[in-house]
Amino acid sequence: MISEVEKRKEEHIDLCIKQDVQTGNTSWYNDILLLHRTMPEIDKNEIDLSTQFLGRKIDYPFVIEAMTGGCKLGEKINRNLAIAAEKLNIPIGVGSQRAMIKDEKQMRTYALKKFAPGIPVLIANIGLVQFCSGEYEENIVNKISSSINTDAIAIHLNPAQEALQKEGDVNFQNGFEILKRIVSVSKVPVIAKETGCGMIKEDCKKISKSGVDLIDVGGNCGTSFTYIETLRRKDRFGECFKDWGVPTPLSVMEANSCNVQTIASGGVRNGIECAKLIRLGASYTGFALPLLKPAMKSPEAVIEKINIMAEELKTAMFLCGAKNLEELKKVPVVVVGKTREWMEQRDLSV
């Protein structure tokens, strides 16, 4: 007999593999124009993509985003992702560890350092709402991270997903106070993370005041978790929320107004989009869905996919005349269309 949580985890993967679960909000990247340099004045072969992530050197500004664990298929996917993360020297997150808290046997599906002890940063994952609803007390974060030896913990903020899930928890009261307490007790750095609906500056400022070390904006340009939950329901409630949320490039600009480094995830599908998000202010870019099918095959398939993104990012940087990520943050950019209107109304700049 498999548990309710394990069943849900398998359904999420199954739907992501078999259906188009992406939001329709994918065109926002087109409003951000990086300017081509016909005189780049740099050698493409000398471009450096390395950076620091929570004090560790990593080879690319990429994060393998939280996806799974807590089910049989999840173990295989996590293993392949972990080996790739180790080889590429980039951070990796596991999916929500609620399944492991409910059933200790599932711990092995999250314990990625046994497959890849050299992962530079392993990120634990748990939802804020489970603390708000009283299911967990703050101290559990140390058990969650130490049990699988992680270097950081992501607290996911997913009100839209919970609201659309038939069995979802929708009591997010006192979230800020609880996040503050989690940060104060956690022995590892804390990342506040959306799961596909993005963030605005009002929330980012609040989140940054809680003392978190990083914000993962999880914007609405890629995987639509609201739609995944709709597809799981017999009554198909909530389809109108498929595109709900703040698109990823806008979320990054919104987050710029607080003093916390950001990971830009949500619909990042090529290296030009990575370059755009870094130019807008993100320190790192993260991907989930594009790695799912490769991760079902092998670590090599994951590595191949990420290497293509890296080569595309390098090429975009070359054509913008940026020889490292610091220089990329300062290259000329033009913002047009709806994104420009958003920036004006929300008083944002790049």
Ligand X SMILES: Cc1cc2nc3c(=O)[nH]c(=O)nc-3n(C[C@H](O)[C@H](O)[C@H](O)COP(=O)(O)O)c2cc1C
Residues of this chain that bind ligand X (CB under 6 A): 12-13, 16, 65-68, 95-96, 125, 154, 156, 193, 195-196, 218, 222-223, 265-268, 287-289, 292
Please report how close the Cβ of residue 28 comes to ligand X at its closest, in angstroms.
13
Residue with smaller CB distance to ligand X, 10 or 59: 10
Please report how close the Cβ of residue 52 comes to ligand X at its closest, in angstroms.
22
CA dist 314 and 59 (Å) reads 13
Q: What's the chain's Rg over C-alpha atoms?
A: 19
Question: 264, 277 in Cβ contact below 8 A?
Answer: yes
CB-based closest residue to ligand X: 222
Residue with smaller CB distance to ligand X, 100 or 289: 289
Instruction: Enumerate long-range contacts of 228-233, CB under 8 Å, 24 or more apart.
Output: 228/12, 228/15, 228/16, 228/21, 228/161, 229/161, 229/164, 229/165, 229/166, 229/168, 230/164, 231/15, 231/19, 231/21, 232/8, 232/11, 232/15, 232/165, 232/166, 233/164, 233/166
Please report how close the Cβ of residue 157 comes to ligand X at its closest, in angstroms.
9
CA-to-CA dists, residue 17 to 13, 33, 89, 156, angstroms: 6, 32, 26, 22
Look at residues 161, 93, 164 and name the one whose alpha carbon lies nearest to residue 122: 93
Residue with smaller CB distance to ligand X, 270 or 324: 270
Please report how close the Cβ of residue 230 comes to ligand X at its closest, in angstroms.
15
Residue with smaller CB distance to ligand X, 295 or 322: 295
Q: Which residues of 211-243 are buried (b: 16+ CB within 10 A; e: fewer)?
A: ebbbbbbbbbbbbbbbbbbbbbeeeeebeebbb
Please report how close the Cβ of residue 144 comes to ligand X at its closest, in angstroms.
13
Please report how close the Cβ of residue 65 comes to ligand X at its closest, in angstroms.
3
Residue with smaller CB distance to ligand X, 42 or 73: 73
Q: How many CB atoms are located within 10 Å of the residue 102 CB?
A: 14
Please provide residue 119's backbone torsions phi and psi, each rounded to the nearest 5 degrees.
-55, 130
Residue with smaller CB distance to ligand X, 289 or 319: 289
Residue with smaller CB distance to ligand X, 12 or 279: 12
Residue with smaller CB distance to ligand X, 190 or 320: 190
Angle at 274 between CA 65 and CA 69, to 5 degrees: 10
CA dist 231 and 110 (Å) reads 26
Please report how close the Cβ of residue 190 comes to ligand X at its closest, in angstroms.
13
* Residue 232 identity: R
CA dist 69 and 65 (Å) reads 12
Please report how close the Cβ of residue 211 comes to ligand X at its closest, in angstroms.
19
Residue with smaller CB distance to ligand X, 252 or 331: 252
Please report how close the Cβ of residue 127 comes to ligand X at its closest, in angstroms.
7
3-class DSSP state for residue 334?
Answer: strand
